[in-house]
Amino acid sequence: MIYITGDTHGEVRRFFEPQLPCMDWGPEDKLIVAGDFGMLFGNGSIDAEKLDLLAKCPFEILFLDGNHECFPEIFSFEEQEYCGGRVHRIRDNIRHLMRGQVYEIEGLRIFTMGGGFSIDQRMRIPGRSWWPEEMPSEAEYAEGLRNLSRCGNAVDVLISHAAPTGSMRELMRNGVFSFLFPQEAPLGDYLEKVAAMTRHRHYYFGHIHLDRELPGNRTALYHSVLCLNTELDGPAPEQV
């Protein structure tokens, strides 16, 4: 089974809390973290200790990058092919799902786009607690569109860290946010474009520290742990 949750921000306990369903998972099960994994944050032995603990989990951990990550540390790991897309192999059971990739995992086609803008950037130290690679590059945007085109612009699931612009505007209408951050606008607009041009069954994102269902089969994730195999409604979208 494939499960998904929101930002974990380096909190190892999120993977071991007894109330979570992962306590009964086995080696065939997978947990996707929708960005801000936070276990690689330029902290040397502390990061290694956290990853070694997670390596003991009986299930596989797949994570998108968010904005609060040490990108040079992530990029230092070996790049591999995994289920049709590119990943960084962190441990035998831990992989970074790279930006603009399409994966075929347990019969589900999944598109991923990490990255986001840090609203607390001014409080962070460049190269120590903030890295400029947090926002996707034009090359990563383009690769995502190419990979979607190769699969006929049809996937089962879209997953990003940041929210599409339309979802942010919906949250603004409901009083959750008062304004959009212009620095993140290119990413939000890109994600909205991807959602509009791609036939899909559901869209999941993290970043905003909120668990909420939104119009258009979209879900904001934080602490919730959902099973993709049972969440998705309807048949798989057809390629054209």
Residue 176 has pLDDT above 50, yes or no: yes
What is the pLDDT at residue 239? 47
d(CA 74, CA 39): 10
Residue 53 has pLDDT above 80, yes or no: yes
* All structural domains of the chain with their residue ranges: 2-231
Tokens of 210: 């909120």
Residue 22 has pLDDT above 80, yes or no: no
Residue 31 has pLDDT above 90, yes or no: yes
d(CA 109, CA 152): 12
Residue 52 pLDDT class (50, 70, 90 cuts): very high
Tally DSSP H helices, then E strands, for the chain: 6, 13
Beta strands per DSSP E along 73-155: 79-82, 85-91, 94-97, 101-105, 108-113
Tokens of 29: 């099960």
Residues 6+ apart with CB under 8 A from 193: none
d(CA 91, CA 59): 12
Domain 2-231 has CATH 3.40.50.920: no
**pTM of the full structure:** 0.93
Residue 178 has pLDDT above 70, yes or no: no
Residue 189 has pLDDT above 90, yes or no: yes
pLDDT, average across residues 51-61: 94
Tokens of 106: 């347990």
Tokens of 54: 């997670």
- CA-CA distances (angstroms) from residue 81 to 86, 175, 223? 5, 42, 29
d(CA 9, CA 7): 6
Q: Render pLDDT for 74-119 as a digit per residue (tens, 0 to 9).
A: 999 999 999 999 999 999 999 999 999 999 999 999 999 999 987 7
Tokens of 202: 């559901």
Residue 240 has pLDDT above 50, yes or no: no
d(CA 66, CA 163): 11
Mean pLDDT across the chain, nearest whole number? 90
Provide the sign of the torsion angle of the four alpha carbons 101, 102, 104, 108, taken in this order: positive
Q: Which among 63, 43, 42 has a CA at the least distance from the CA of 54?
A: 63
pLDDT, average across residues 8-33: 83
Stronger pLDDT, 58 or 20, i.e. the higher one: 58
